[in-house]
Amino acid sequence: MPQPTSITPSSPHSIRLEAVTLARGNQHVFEGLTLHLQEARIGLVGDNGAGKSSLFRLISGLDQPQQGRVVVHGCDTQTDRRQLSQHVGLMFQNPDDQIIFPTVAEELAFSLTARGETRQAARQRARDFLAQRGLDAWAGRAIGELSQGQRQQVCLLALQISQPATLLLDEPFASLDLLSQARLAAQLDATDQQIVLSTHLLDHVHDFERVLWLEQGKVRADGPGREVCEAYAANVRERARAERGTSHA
């Protein structure tokens, strides 16, 4: 079984969870979880309810641990919350939970005005940002006219333009057809930001330098993407066979 990767202190990326306990009601989501996430591409795999989205909520400061601490690029998520958005951006699974403004350019500009840019400067920068990517025609497009995959692209562009060091992507491929998945994957490949990506579609993290397999709030395996994805897939097949055998008994 893959083992946790070694930590490289010189890495430009650094997200640390130190003995973190997160509880909701009487249920412990994490208990004493310690992680150091420093690689440029990190995948999260595991069944529904394993803790992937909860981990993202901790890193982005949406949830606070009952014990322990979370430090993102030197920013404590409890004491430095105002600065946290400069370091990390979270993309939800459903783009409609994230998009606020009616047009693409306005949505991208909001990411900049939230950081203090004037509205006029932000809108011009948003148009320039789209033009650099061959998306000039998107600037004035209504969000409601876009496909699911295109709205996902807009969410990612809005994160990229504000340039946080880390992007947290929660099941970004879940509702996309194959062509939209390929476009989004290419968009991710082109960014130099750190990406932490949760997915059930293992092909998208198979070649990542590090993948964590979460199981009931614990790290079941941690290592190179190929090894962890194959181990998780084999476990799923084994459980599926066991369930079929039980149902036929």
Q: Is 124 inside any structural domain? A: no
| 162 φ/ψ sector (left φ>0, alpha ψ -120 to 50, else beta) | alpha
Q: Is 86 inside any structural domain? A: yes
Give the type of residue at 139. Answer: A
Residue 84, C-beta contacts closer than 8 angstroms, at least 6 positions apart:
60, 61, 72, 75, 77
Q: Is 133 inside any structural domain? A: no
The CATH number for 59's domain is: 3.40.50.300
List phi, psi (to 5°) of 90: -110, 130
- Burial class (CB within 10 angstroms; exposed 0-12, middle 13-18, buried 19+) of 239: exposed
Q: Is 197 inside any structural domain? A: yes
- Written as six digits, the tokens of 112 are 């900049």
Q: Is 171 inside any structural domain? A: yes
Per the CB < 8 A criterion, the answer to whether 19 and 68 are in contact is yes
What is the pTM (predicted TM-score) of this model?
0.86
Domain containing 197 equals 15-102+142-248
How are beta strands 15-24 and 67-72 bridged, if at all?
antiparallel
C-alpha dihedral (157, 160, 166, 168), degrees to nearest 10: -10
pLDDT of the chain, 249 residues: tens digit per residue: 544 444 444 455 689 999 999 998 888 999 999 999 999 999 999 999 999 999 999 999 999 999 999 999 999 999 888 788 889 999 988 888 889 999 999 999 998 888 888 999 999 999 999 999 899 999 999 999 998 888 988 998 999 898 899 999 999 988 888 988 898 898 888 888 999 999 999 999 999 999 999 999 999 999 999 999 999 999 999 999 988 877 665
Q: Is 9 inside any structural domain? A: no
The domain total for the chain is 1
